[in-house]
A and B are shown apart, each in its own frame.
Chain A
Amino acid sequence: MAQIATIVPIMLTVGANRIVPGVAIPHPVGNPEAGPEEDKKVRRKLVLRALKALQTEIFEQTIFDSD
């Protein structure tokens, strides 16, 4: 499981192992304020990052914050 959410310290505290930082609390996988194109672009980027996290071998809690 990979978790996408915005408050990384909470994900670390509750024990998520594959962590992908999201955009904002009310829209973790989107940036609607930046318009529909940018919104979808960032969503695709974060989902691809989560899929990459799922394919990555890890031994401890890991934050995937770059591609």
Chain B
Amino acid sequence: MAYRVVHYINQFYGGKGGEEVADFKPSLEQGPVGPGSELQKLFGDEARVTGTIICGDGYYAEHIEKARAECLKIVEELKPDLFIAGPAFNAGRYGVACGDICAAVVERLGIPSVTGMFPENPGVELYSKQIFIVKTADSAMGMREALTSMARLGLKLLKREPLGSAFEEGYIHRGIRKNFFKEKRGSLRAIDMLLQKIAGQEFRTEYEMPVFKKIPPAPPIKDLKHATIALVTSGGIVPRGNPDRLRVSSAESYAKYDISGLDDLTPENFESIHGGYDRMWANVDPDVVVPLDVMRELEREGVFNKLHPYLYTTTGTGTSVANAERFGREIGHELKEAGVDGVILTST
């Protein structure tokens, strides 16, 4: 007996129209529609696309909870073995809709789901940790490849076959690492990789570096004499005794401390708890990490108007990019609210 598959597509691929019908409410059509026909061909006799949910991108984006509930209800009634959404390529609202409905189908109904997106689709950042998102081209030019990978991964999930790495299976990695044994130890594999690189051959890392966002530079301070400057550090400088139990590495929090009454950091009032560098000098004089003494001097000399009364501090070692980004967003927001014009961030 063939597996049952339900497919989710937007109004455009569902043949309803373009942006003018983006508010199209979720509706069910029997059998495959649009890209679903190709999907059906790829599944052959192994699986059957029994129904297609068509929903407008605008509708899903603007009524996300309602749209999710309506789509879930249809999926629940059809009881598929596999749920497929998209591919959405680089279409932002479509990608978010595909990611959101797949995540809900997996979580609420326990049905395996696969979608496909271009890596820069905003849906990837939101949902890649929760669901299988096959890597696709940025436009429908890559439809066939996308559907091929999606069908192949979908069948594997249906048959509960063991999955290879995200790279081998063609999906965007979910941040899951599995332990397994390799014939060659790490140092030998690293040398092999280096030799391949030197020889100009193709090689692949075993641990991908996170991709950092490029942030446009802030405009310069026009009038430093009237500016408020704040000190922020990732050097783990905290009041003695670490009252907020800031972690020595892999920080999950940051802290802010009132330094308005202080002219100097000393071993009597502050210390370093950072687990990633030799703390000897920082504990002799924390100013070598957070330059409070000099900032006070310059404040008195009128080089700038005012030192912000709070020092923000965290530990920047082994700290996840996601946490670091959150700290930055939150601290930035608070400093902006407080009327701070510029920040000096010191890192170890």
Contacts and interface: CB of A to CB of B under 8 A. Distances in A.
Interface string A1-31: 1111110000101111110001001111110
B342 A2 contact: yes
A32 B291 CA distance: 13
A50 B346 CA distance: 10
A2 B217 contact: no
Interface string A24-60: 0111111011000001100110111011001111111
A40 B285 CA distance: 11
Contact of A26 (B213, B281, B287, B298): B281
B280 interface: yes
B344 interface: yes
A54 B220 contact: yes
B278 interface: yes
Nearest to B232: A1
Given A15-B213, A25-B277, A27-B282, A43 B347 contact: no
Contacts of A39: 285, 288
Interface of B: 212-222, 224, 229, 232, 235, 277-282, 284-285, 287-291, 293-295, 297-298, 303-304, 342-348
- Nearest 10 pairs of A and B residues by beta carbon: A30-B288, A27-B288, A5-B347, A17-B217, A1-B343, A54-B342, A29-B291, A26-B277, A3-B345, A27-B281
